[in-house]
Structure 1
C-alpha cells in the first residue's frame, strides 16, 4: 500500500526483456497489492463508522482516513474509483443502518447510491497522486464530493459528511470559520498527512515535521473563540428562558387515528405538567415553548378538537408555543404541509395559530414520491404516503415570544444553506423580512428510528450547527433525543429516547454573525473549484508525460551489421 509514483502503474507496466521480448509481469504481486488496497479501503470505512455517533470513538477517524488515502494513492483513477466504492459501502451501509426500518431495499439502495460519491473522492485522490502537494489535495477532493452530494440528486443527502463525525472534538470550532466544509477539510487533511508519514517514514525529519503539523491542526481549533453570552441590542433581550417538550409516542396497538390522537395528548399532558411545576415553583417560568415535528398529525386548522387541546396546553403555560403540525395545503388539498406554527395564549389577546413556517426541504421517498405515478404502482409501501408534502418557499424565521427564532424541521438541519439563511435573514418574508434568527430550533420526529443510532447522529449535526452559527439550538423530538445546546456546542441538557419529559433553561440570544455565516458558501465553492482544477491539471500532466515518452526514440530491432 506504499507504492507511489512510477511504481504505482497498477503493477501492469511492461518491462523490456531479453532479446526485445516483453514478458507480462507476474500476477502474484499485483493480486496481493490489490487485495491489500481493497482491505485497506474496507477497513478504513468500517473504522470511520465507529468514529461517528452513536459510537463516538472519534480518535478512529484519522487512521480510518489515512487507510483510505493509502489505499487510493498511486493508482489510476478508475481503480481508485472502485476502491473508493468499497470504502463508501463499508462506511455508509453501517452508518445508515437505521434505514432498515423502512426496508432493506431502501437501505441498500441509499447506501449503495451515495457510496458513489466517496468513489468519486477516491478517483480524485488517485488521479492527483503525482502532484507534489498531494496531501493538501486529498481534503479538497472530500470537500468537492460532499459539495456535490449535498445537492444532488433530488436535493442531495448530506448524511455521513466527515464533519458530522467531528461534532465534539478540537476540530469542531473550525465550523465557526467556514462551516461544515472546513471541518471536513481539517479531518481529511489530518488523515492525508498521516498517510504521508507512512509513505515517507524513511525520512525522519520530514515525518516528524508532518506529525507536528498534524498536532497543530488538531489543537489550533481550540483557539477559535466561541460565544457563550447573549447580546442585548436594539431593545432586544440578551437571553430567554426556553422550554422543550418531549411527549413520547404511544405503545404499539392503537389504530392509526388513535396513535395520532395519543401523540397530541402526550404533548398536551407534558406541557400541562410543566405548567403545574412552574406554579409550584419546581421549574422556572419559560418565555417560549417548543413542541416537536408531528406533535399533532391531526390538522388543528381544520379539526376543532385538536385546536382546543393545543389551546388548553398553551393557556396552561401562558406563553407562545411552537407547534409541529401536519396541515392541509390551503390552496391545494391534494398536498399537505409540514409546519411549525406559533400558537398564542389567550392572555395575548389574539389566541390561537399565528405565524408559521413550512418545511422547505421535504425528504424524497419519505415525504414525497418522485415519479409517483409510476413508482406507486411498483412499490406498495408508498401507499403509506398517500399525499405528497409540498415545500415551503420562505426561510423559517418566526417571532416566538421575545425570541426571533430560526426554525429547521428534522432533516433540514443537515443542509448548510437552510440554517445559514435563517441566521442571515435571507429569504425571510412577512413582518420579519431581512431579519436573522437570534436562536435556532430543530423540530424533529425520530420515532421511526428509535434505538437505531439515528437520533444521536442528528443531535451531533445540531451541535455542529450551534458552533457554526454561534446560536443556541433547541431540539424538540417526539420520542428523543430532545436537547438544549449552547452556542459553543455544549449540552445544557437532554432527554433520552422513548421518554416523556421537558427541559427548561436560560439560553442566550445573539445577533453577531460568525465568520462562517459572513462567508457563506464561498469557501466551499472555492475548495471545490480548486479540486476540479487540480484534477484536470493532473490528468493533462499525465497525458503529456505519456505523449513525451511515446515520442522518445526506440531501440532499433534491426540486426546489427
Structure 2
C-alpha cells in the first residue's frame, strides 16, 4: 500500500504532536491510550520516501518526547546534561525512522499494509533494545511498554516481557494510522477493519492469564520511607540524619505491628550512606532498628573498597548476627553514579565533578537469601537497585535464580516532585506482571508501593513524607514465559530488525536494477537506429 506523500510541514507537526502525545501516555498525565495515538502520528509523519528527511522527523518526535519525559534530569543535574541526554535518545528515534524508510522500500512491504504493521513494530522494538544496552550500558527509560501499567495490554508482559508489550502498543498504533489513511481514501471498509484489528490487539490482553496466588506461603514485610532533610542533590549531605530517619521509622513500625511479627524490613537505597560494617555509630543505629522489629533489615548503603571507587549495596542485617548477605548494584548510571570520559564530559558541564568517586559495578546476580524463622527456611528475594528496574536482564536473572518476591530499593530525593518516581513505579508494576512476583518499591522519599503479581498497587506513599507500609507478600516460584524465554524474545526482535532493514534495502536495490535494465532495453532499438552508417 503506497501512502500518499504528506507535505513536509505536515510531517513536522505530526511528529512533534506525536512525541508530546506519547509522553502524555506515561505517568504524570498517565493517559495510556495516547501511546497508540503517538505511534499513529509517527507512522503518518514518516510518509515521505527520503530516509534523511524521515530521520529528521524521527529526531523531532524523539525530542518532543524525551525533553518532557526526562525533565527530572534537568531538576537533578541541570539543563546541559538533560538536553544532551534528550538529544542522544532522540537520535535513536531518528535511526529508527531511517531504518523504516529503508525497510519499506522492498516491494513486499511497500505494497502490503498487513506487512507494514509487524515491520514497523519489529524495527521500533529493535531500536528500543539497542538504546537499552548502548552506549555506556544503555538507557531504557521511555520504552513504550512502561506507559501501559494501567492498561489491559500490560498483561502481555507476562508472555514476552517488555519487548513484546512495546510491540503490542506499536501494532495498535499502526492500525490506527492505517485506519486514518483509509478514511482519507474514503475506504470505510478498510478503515473499520483496521480499527477492529487495533481494538482486538488492545483487548487481547484479557486473554493472558495472571496468577496471584501464593505458592510457597507468604512473607510478612515492612517497608520504611524515612524521608530526607532537603530535596535535590544536597539531600544526602546530612547522611547521619537520613540514617536516623530510617531508624526512627523502623522503631515506629515496631510500635505499630509489634516486635517479631515481621519476617523482613526493607529500607531504600541510600537509607544509610554510612556503611554500618565499618562505622561503629552506624552499626549501633542499624542494630537498634533491627532489634526493635526483631527481624532482618535490608539496608541501602555504600561500600568503599581500599582500591578506590564505591559500591551501591543492599545489605541484609540480622538483629543478632549483623551483616548476613549483600548485593552490589550491577548497572551504575553513567554520568550520574560514574562518569565515563570525565575530561571530555567536563567541557560540556562541570556537574560531572559532583560525582567525586565513581561507582563500581557489582558482578553477582540480584538475589539475597533471607532466613525466615516463621517459615523455617531461606526465602530468596530478587533485588534491583533504583534504575536497574528498567533493565530486563538484571530483573530476569534474579527471578531465574530463585527469587520469590522482588524488591526495588530506590532513592528519588534528587529528582524533587517530578514524575521520575511514578515513572519508576510503572516499571516496577510491569516487572511484577512480567515475572509473576509480588514487588515492593521502597524509596527514601516516595513513591513507595506494594504491588501484587498482577501489577496492582495495594499500598503506596506520598512524596517527601516519612511513612511505613506493611504487607503479607505472596511467595511464588513458578516461572512465567517472559522469565523463561525473555532473552529469546529480545534477541528475536533484534535479529528481525536487522533482517527487515537489509531485506528492504536489498529489495529496493533489485527494483532499481530491474528498472534501469528496463529503461536500457526500451532505449536500445532507438539508440541503434540513430547510429550513423559506416562508410
Structure 1 and Structure 2 fold alike (TM over 0.5) = yes
Of 260, 267, 272, the match for 2:246:
267
Q: Give the Cα separation in 2 of the matches to 1:166 and 1:356.
A: 33
Question: Residues 258, 207 of structure 1: CA spacing in aligned structure 2 closer, same or farther, 3 A cutoff?
Answer: closer
Change (3 A) 1:253 1:77: closer
Instruction: Return the structure number with greater relative CO, CA threshold 8 A, min gap 6.
Output: 2
Q: Do residues 340 (structure 1) and 322 (structure 2) align?
A: no
Higher deviation after alignment, 245-254 or 72-81: 245-254
Q: Name the residue aligned to 1:431.
A: none
Which residue number corresponds to residue 533 of structure 1?
A: 499
* From 131, 152, 155, the counterpart of 1:173: 155
Structure 2 CA distance, aligned partners of 1:376 and 1:104? Answer: 14
Q: Assess if the C-alpha contact under 8 Å between 1:74 and 1:129 holds in 2.
A: no
Q: Contact 1:450–1:479 at 8 Å: present in 2 too?
A: no
1:387 aligns to 2:387 (yes or no): no
Deviations 1:154-176 (A, max 9, x none): 00000000111111201100000
Asked if 1:354 corresponds to 2:324, the answer is yes
Match of 2:2 in 1: 4
TM-score (norm 1): 0.87
Pairing 1:114–2:68 present: no
Equivalent-residue separation in structure 2 for 1:122 and 1:215 (angstroms):
25
Q: 1:279 Cα deviation (Å)?
A: 3.2
CA contact (8 A) 2:12 2:45 kept: yes
1:152 to 127, 134, 143: 134
1:388-446 deviations in whole A, cap 9, x for unaligned? 11111101211224331011100000000001000111xxxxxxxxxx10000000000
Correspondences of 1:53-92 after superposition (within 5 Å): 53-92=27-66
Indicate if the aligned counterparts of 1:322 and 1:400 stay in contact, CA closer than 8 A. Answer: no
Kept in 1: contact 2:434–2:483 (CA 8 A): yes
> Which of 101, 113, 119 pairs up with 1:126?
101
Cα gap change, 1:174 to 1:33, in 2 (>3 Å)? same
How far apart are 1:554 and its partner, in Å?
A: 5.1
Equivalent residue of 1:522, what SS? Answer: helix
> Structure 2 CA distance, aligned partners of 1:258 and 1:37?
48
Gaps of at least 5 residues in structure 2 are 373-378, 531-535
Does 1:500 find its partner at 2:466?
yes
Unaligned runs of 5+ in 1: 9-31, 233-237, 426-435
Quote the Cα distance in structure 1 between the aligned partners of 2:347 and 2:122: 42
Which range moved further: 531-540 or 112-121?
Answer: 531-540
- Whether the 8 Å contact between 1:78 and 1:123 is mirrored in structure 2 is yes
The partner residue of 2:262 within 266, 281, 286 is: 286
- Partner of residue 544, structure 1: 510
1:294-309 pair list within 5 angstroms: 294-309=270-285
Identify if the C-alpha distance between structure 1 residues 470 and 554 changes in structure 2 by more than 3 Å, giving closer, same or farther: same
Separation of aligned partners in 1, 2:144 and 2:68: 15
Cα contact 2:226–2:467 (8 A) shared by 1: yes
Q: Alpha-carbon deviation of 1:513? A: 0.3
The total of aligned residue pairs comes to: 510
> Which residue does 2:376 correspond to in 1?
none
How far does residue 126 in structure 1 lie from its aligned partner after superposition? 2.4
How far residue 373 of structure 1 moved from its aligned partner, in angstroms, is 5.1
- 1:12-31 aligned at under 5 Å gives the runs none
Question: What's the offset of the Cα at 1:377?
Answer: 7.6
- Which residue matches 1:372? 342
Question: Whole-Å Cα distance in 1 between the matches of residues 258 and 515 of structure 2?
Answer: 85
Q: Distance in 1 between matches of 2:192 and 2:236?
A: 65
SS at match of 1:325: strand
- Offset of 1:258 from its aligned partner? 6.1
Are the counterparts in 1 of residues 231 and 416 from structure 2 also a CA contact under 8 Å?
Answer: no
Work out whether 1:192 is the aligned partner of 2:168.
no
Residue 213 of structure 1 corresponds to 197
Match of 1:21 in 2: none
Cα deviation for residue 376 of structure 1 reads: 5.1
Q: Which residue of 2 aligns with 1:247?
A: 226
Aligned with residue 99 of structure 1, among 64, 68, 73: 73
TM-score (norm 2): 0.91
The Cα shift of 1:264 comes to 0.4
The residue matched to 2:407 in structure 1 has which SS?
Answer: strand
Whether the aligned pair in 2 keeps the contact of 1:321 and 1:400 (CA below 8 Å) is: no
Structure 2 residue aligned with 1:316: 292
Secondary structure of the residue that 1:476 maps to in structure 2?
Answer: strand
**By how many angstroms is 1:259 displaced?**
1.3
CA contact (8 A) 2:176 2:195 kept: yes
The structure-2 alpha-carbon separation of the partners of 1:77 and 1:380, relative to structure 1 and needing over 3 Å to count, comes to: closer
The answer as to whether partners of 1:472 and 1:486 remain within 8 angstroms in 2 is yes
SS of 1:474 mapped into structure 2? strand
SS at match of 1:507: strand
